[in-house]
Structure 1
Amino acid sequence: MEHSGGDLALIGATLRSNTGEASDATAILIRAGRIELVGTDAEIADAAAQFAIPTRDLGGATVTPGLFDSHTHPHWAASVTAGLDLGGLETIDELRAALAAEHARLPEDAWLRGWNLEYEAFEHTGLRGDLLADAAPGRPVALICYDLHTGLATAPALAAAGITGSRNFDDASEIVVDEAGVPTGELREPTAYNLVFDAAPQPSHDDARDGLRDMFRRLAAVGLTGGAIMDGKDATVDLLEELEERGELDHRLTVHHWHAVGDTDADVARVISEKDRSGRLWQTGAIKLFSDGVIDTGTAWLHEPDSCGDGRAAFWPSWERYGDVVRAYHDAGMLIATHAVGDFAVSRVLDVYAALPARDGLPFHSIEHLEVLSDGDVEQLRGSGVTASMQPLHMQWRSSDHSDTWAKRLGEDRSHTGYRVRDVLDAGARLVLGSDWPVAQYDPRVGMAWARGRHTPGDASANVFEPSQRLSGEEALLAYTLWPAQARGHADRGVIAIGAVGDLTVWGADPVATDADALPEMPIVLTVVDGRIVHEG
């Protein structure tokens, strides 16, 4: 089926165009999915009448280029969030009560799935499935921690997956066992925990497709018009293609294929051969790799060991192999994003990127997260051309007294080197923001509020983490609009200008001038993708 963009005229608006040019324009005309005219209300109303295009008077609402989440997992989230949300449950007793209630509700043969599990409940015991088994006797229970780096399974779930002891993996994944070699239920990193989740009943094709469609509609309701999918696989691309064919795709997407450490040269060649696969609203040609894990489990790669003596190992057994893989994808003209949470991981990835040959006319690569950075790492970013893709809203799990696992691992002094978005910008690096959904809330209003205020939005008494790192209102907006477009080499996105794609977010007030604490409650009036209204508040 042939698809073309929509036609729409918006008048009576305040425009934040991101063009850097002063203008008294208050209206926009979109034809076939692209902005054809920006001008006064009268000019746009006349043009719309000429082409019989519907006109919407926004009554002074603010229009910005469409918001883009630079790091998200909507396909994964559609599956993961179908289970029990365990967020905010901080004790074993609270977890057991929630699991018992879900156990009583579920059919006898169903698995009990849960997500958003926090580490704090297991601070003194370690992650152990037996602590939760009696809450759902005989039923397979498979849970995933909020950061998507650790899973927890009870004995029935381990048995269903055929897990009876430790295994060797190509990457740093681990089946944790006790002194007797018996699995505790803790499964570190995706290669390990996916053994359990892959053994659980899977949704039908139609359910998976519709779940992804509905996920995009949830994202549109908070003003998002697109995002970078950071866990892409063949099934993801197939579903996007099918949704677009059905006229049910409401998001503009770049799919980063997830490269696993164990992938062979043949796997790399296959991915490269598919790099030009695309549709009207989606494209591939991008890669996601890991260099380390996360601070909370001691798997981040750090310049100095953490307080538990961890943090000195890469995700790859052979760092040389990482470099070879990056070079292959780079030479094929693909865009590479590398997960690097720890400061040493960031430095080592920058070393590999710096050795790559120039590619005229193509954007350069990104590093994802950069949770902690030494001064030397910030300087290494300067002039590198690397995009820093960061998520300041992940500070929501920090405690003002440094009692959280993240701060305990790093120590009080090093925890102050976290989420250095201001220093990254001042070093001349391009900054883009995202959520890492379902790790954190997908709402970009929350993400922008954290980037600007660095404290719990709306709580005047909340601790402000490293206030010198706060962004301005304009910078936060640019990091969700123009800068992601530039990072991906798109001259027709992230701006309100003639010829740009018709992706717009319409706000109830000006998101730049509004106080950061008020952002999460600001109404989203319209979300427009490709000239089509996909959400109306």
Structure 2
Amino acid sequence: MTADLIIHNALVRTMESAAPEAPGFGPASTAVAVTGGQITAVAGDADVLALAGPDTRVIDAGGAALVPGLIDSHMHPIWGIELTRGIDLYGLDLEGIRDALAKEAARLPEDAWVCGWNLDHNAFDGPLRGDLFDDVLGGRPLAVVLYDLHTGLGNPAALAAAGITGRETFDDASLVVVDEQGVPTGELREIPAYLLLLDAVPPIPQDEYIQRLQSLFSTLNGVGITSAVVMDGRDKHLDLLADMEKAGNLTVQLHIAMWHQPGDGDERVAQIISQLGRSGRGWRVQLIKMFLDGVIESGTAWLNEPDTCGTGTHSFWKDLDRYEEVTRRYVEAGYQIATHSVGDAGVGQILEAYKRVGTASAAGAPNRIEHLEVLTDPDISNLAETGVVASMQPLHMQWRAGDGTDAWASRLGPHRSHGGFRVRDVLEAGGRVALGSDWPVAQYDPRLGMAWARLRRTPGNVQAPVFEPEQRLSGYEALLGYTRWAAEALGRGDLGVIKPGATANLVLFAEDPAETDGDALTDLPVLLTVVGGEPVHSALA
């Protein structure tokens, strides 16, 4: 059988080995053949080129590095289209935010909502307040999501339009923050609270939504992403993906985690169970996503000891027995479970629950914990013992300050903050790790994610503070975190590696990303991206 696609004269990183010097990477592997969306040969040029026929597309890599398609283990690409409405407030101080909002308001009609995202907790000297921006908005309602995606902010006009009074109650630990007089400040802690605000904003037209999603997928292909775990699946998203795939516009393979909220009853559990396995050519429902805590910056992470503000002592779930009950039902139905926990108390609770209900799906995909920013030594031992995956995002350290004055470190205090993001410790203990971005919390570019995992500081700035340098990963380990380890975290042996029978998801880098200097990695050109055997991005001459 002749090949559909051949890439030759390449430096092939198969990622089958535990270390770069082990078998699986060497001069004998210089070419790959693809047939019917699968890799059918990995060998030297002569052997692979012999598989070419008259219709085979043959690409000379010119000595560039061919690696498995990159997998982002934690993203919000679909919901992210709604969350990234308006202006990006990344890196701005309070005056910069006010100026950006004023310019945005000036270009909008008088009755339009002003929207923004990526707002930084560190921009505020005191409590978050939406009315700090009223004088630059011209009476317009304001809806902003902070970078953590666990906090929203609205001004009085927006709160009034959404009918938010401060008397709202929730099935979980979400909160509409009020002042001493019981008046909402505008801060909305956790997703159910700020969805009250976002649901009042006029929806994005469907055509625009799809166009923006297509553009995002194309951009992800351009940085080497071929597959992603979607951590907020909802019924409407599945219908949207089915429509996009019919039109041929789905160029990233998606592993969908259906979102279960604490208030979801047995009827909703049954509905979600019925969705297991729903799929198209490029997407599949296979996970459940739940939250057991929030984030450190707002005091909603669940910690073994209170933070420096006296908060962080409670689970997001009011009924932990119910959390374990629904986890058991989903595991028995065949789902893989992904539970969010930033804090160590939450991590410990999840691990104990997984031990009781099952540490993997019926298909063998390991259950997971997302984020794990603070871990105890027993947590790390339990991760190794159970095989539960630590799905981590080292690039979230970008909001930390070297002097510990940022919201994350100041809440934790010096002892705990200096033990954050213990990815190396998890690996050394024999645990499993997968890496991702959590976009739009952080940038989606996996080159940036790998650089942060390797450097533990801002890439390109050798003077930047280094956070816990003993937790650095090697270049090869960082690449494993976005390839084979990420695939194993999904229970998939056909992704994240270059071998016969594997899905033909491939990325051609100008140089070897495992060997490129960490500070240069973010600018390493992506020459070609292949998804399911089809080139979806090319910067080749």
TM-score normalised by L of structure 1: 0.96
In structure 2, relative to structure 1, the CA distance for the partners of 1:384 and 1:43 (3 Å cut) is same
Q: Is the 8 A contact 1:392 1:451 kept in 2?
A: yes
Counterpart in 2 of 1:78? 81
Structure 1: distance between partners of 2:168 and 2:491: 42
Q: Do 1:303 and 1:343's aligned partners in 2 also have CA atoms closer than 8 Å?
A: yes
- Superposition map of 1:25-424 within 5 A: 25-48=29-52, 50=53, 52-91=55-94, 93-124=95-126, 126-357=127-358, 361-424=363-426
Q: Which residue of 1 aligns with 2:451?
A: 449
The whole-number CA distance in structure 1 between the counterparts of 2:430 and 2:393 is 18
Tell me which residue corresponds to 1:15: 12
- Report how far residue 235 of structure 1 moved: 1.6
> Which deviates the most, 375-384 or 98-107?
375-384
Give secondary structure in 1 for the equivalent of 2:85. Answer: coil
Secondary structure at 1:382's aligned position in 2? Answer: helix
Q: Answer with 12-21 or 344-353: which moved more.
A: 12-21
CA drift of 1:471 comes to: 0.5
Q: Secondary structure at the match of 1:352?
A: helix
Q: Distance in 1 between matches of 2:441 and 2:489?
A: 23
Which residue in the other structure is 2:20 paired with? none
| Rounded Cα–Cα distance in structure 2 between residues aligned with 1:471 and 1:336 | 26
Offset of residue 44 of structure 1: 2.5
Are 2:69 and 2:496, in contact at CA under 8 Å, matched by a contact in 1?
A: yes
SS at match of 2:519: helix
Report the alpha carbon displacement of residue 138 of structure 1 after superposing the two structures with TM. Answer: 1.6
One-letter amino acid matched to 1:211? R
Q: For 1:264-285, what per-residue CA distance to the aligned partner results, in whole angstroms no more than 9, with x for missing partners? A: 0110000001111001111002
The 8 Å contact of residues 380 and 431 in structure 2, kept in 1 or not, is answered as no
Q: CA deviation at 1:19?
A: 2.2
Q: Which runs of 5+ in 2 are unaligned?
A: 18-22
In the TM superposition, residue 452 of structure 1 has moved relative to its aligned partner by 0.7
Q: Distance in 2 between matches of 1:160 and 1:360?
A: 46
Contact preservation (8 Å) 2:335, 2:362:
no
Which string of whole-angstrom CA distances, capped at 9 and with x for unpartnered residues, describes residues 53-74 of structure 1? 1111110010000000000001
> Residue 92 of structure 2 aligns to which amino acid in structure 1?
L
Q: 2: distance between equivalents of 1:120 and 1:496?
A: 43
**Offset, 1:109:** 3.0
SS in structure 1 opposite 2:357?
coil
- Cα distance between partner residues in 2 of 1:287 and 1:361: 14
Q: Distance in 2 between matches of 1:110 and 1:405?
A: 32
Q: Output the amino acid matched with 2:533.
A: G
Query: In structure 2, what residue type is equivalent to 1:475?
Result: E
TM-score by length of 2: 0.96
Q: Distance in 2 between matches of 1:510 and 1:274?
A: 40
Counterpart of 1:412 in structure 2: which amino acid? P
Number of aligned residue pairs: 529
Name the counterpart of 1:505: 507
Q: For residue 445 of structure 1, what is the amino acid of its counterpart? A: R
CA positional deviation for 1:535: 1.1
SS in structure 2 of the partner of residue 179 of structure 1: coil
Q: CA deviation at 1:357?
A: 4.1
Identity rate, percent: 52
Write the letter of the residue equivalent to 2:120. Answer: E
Query: Which SS does the other structure have where 2:386 is aligned?
Result: coil
Partner SS, residue 164 of structure 1? coil
